[in-house]
Structure 1
């Protein structure tokens, strides 16, 4: 459950100054409002960890100058900042980031190769709000891992089922491809990524189709 910490509007810098160190919770800033986000647990946490490991393996095997930080805040705007479930950064672009070394903050879209969100019950965030914000910010690739088919039918169809959506930025807009079951994931950035959707989602036991 997402909780509103304070209805008072704050700037991104005020949010960063406020952010408690060593907190057990995750927080995001959306249109000036500080939100306490549910911390990934259980299947959600395992899927994010396994997917990050798989991506890291591809990065190492192909000698790409990318890395996956443990923690990172993306400044989308002066009133909005997100902590993606997984983010892949470009080592060669980090030198131009004024706040990376000191605060682990990303302010430039060219530093980001990929953002991944694992969908939970607040699915509108990933399919609607964050998709629009990541697109507007200029993030080249965005994955939506909906392992339980939480998304609305207008996004994943009917009957609802586990769906992996790859959004690729083309001429400033996301083009979306959806993959299910035995489909091999196709990524413009990580063409060597060979897993099927079943292989990705089955890293979590007892994941099945939701109708």
Structure 2
């Protein structure tokens, strides 16, 4: 991620001034440009988005996955662009920033948010865990298909891991999912998906055969 050299900006200045053809986040008034991700990263995102879409359509839930919506903590000048953001349509009418800026600020609008880890893993495991918890987002996944996160988060030795954070009494509790473990999602309790299936979405056929 590349930090902008500009002075701290407000959320309004950020959303009104950022170019449309690039992806940015706002971290406490600092504009951060998100670098282009590798193909495997995008394959994992696409696989998960398709599986979750099928699940909420099957259950006839009023959800959607937007393309460029932002999540803004109400207490500071930050705005995040998650890799996958599931929104609850009925609550969008209560979102003050939705119509003008396609931005949500309330946990009731966000059943599930997912970040797929790249080299800036500290943002996903430290900054965003705290911010998403304060917003009240009930479920947050960190999909670390390369095992890049710190050992205090994914263990030692490091290995590919999905961290599933569930909001319990206003605090996150985390479960680590690896290998053929099924992802147990409070939002989608009938979801039949293992960590390995997600990780293999970012592998070639030869790499999958090598892991067998």
Band the TM-score falls in, shorter-chain normalisation: over 0.9
Aligned pairs for 1:77-88 within 5 A: 77=74, 78-88=76-86
The one of 117, 120, 129 equivalent to 1:119 is: 117
Quick one: which of 178, 182, 204 aligns to 2:176? 178
Q: Which residue of 1 aligns with 2:25?
A: 28
TM-score for the superposition, normalised by structure 2: 0.92
CA distance in 2, matches of 1:40, 1:88: 21
CA distance in 2, matches of 1:137, 1:39: 27
- Within 5 Å, give how 1:145-164 maps onto structure 2: 145-164=143-162
How far is the alpha carbon of 1:7 from its aligned partner? 4.0
Most deviating of 87-96 and 69-78: 69-78
Specify the SS of the correspondent of 1:188: coil
- The equivalences for 1:74-153 within 5 A come to 74-77=71-74, 78-153=76-151
Q: Name structure 2 gaps, 5 residues minimum.
A: none
Larger helix proportion of the pair: 2
Distance 1:63 1:188 in 2: 17
For residues 109 and 12 of structure 1, what CA distance do their matches in structure 2 show? 19
Shift of 1:20: 1.4
- Match of 1:110, SS? helix
Tell me the C-alpha RMSD between the 2 structures: 1.5
Q: Which residue of 1 aligns with 2:12?
A: 13
Higher strand share goes to which structure? 1
Shift of 1:118: 0.0
Q: CA deviation at 1:45?
A: 0.8
The 3-state SS of whatever aligns with 1:51 is helix
2-structure distance, mates of 1:202, 1:90: 29
Divergent runs of 4+, >4 A: 206-209
TM-score normalized with structure 1 length: 0.93
CA contact (8 A) 2:136 2:167 kept: yes
Shift of 1:41: 3.0
Unaligned runs of 5+ in 1: none
CA-CA distance at 1:99 after TM superposition: 2.6
Q: Take 1:138 and 1:3, find their aligned partners in 2: how far apart are those partners?
A: 28
SS for the counterpart of 2:111 is: strand
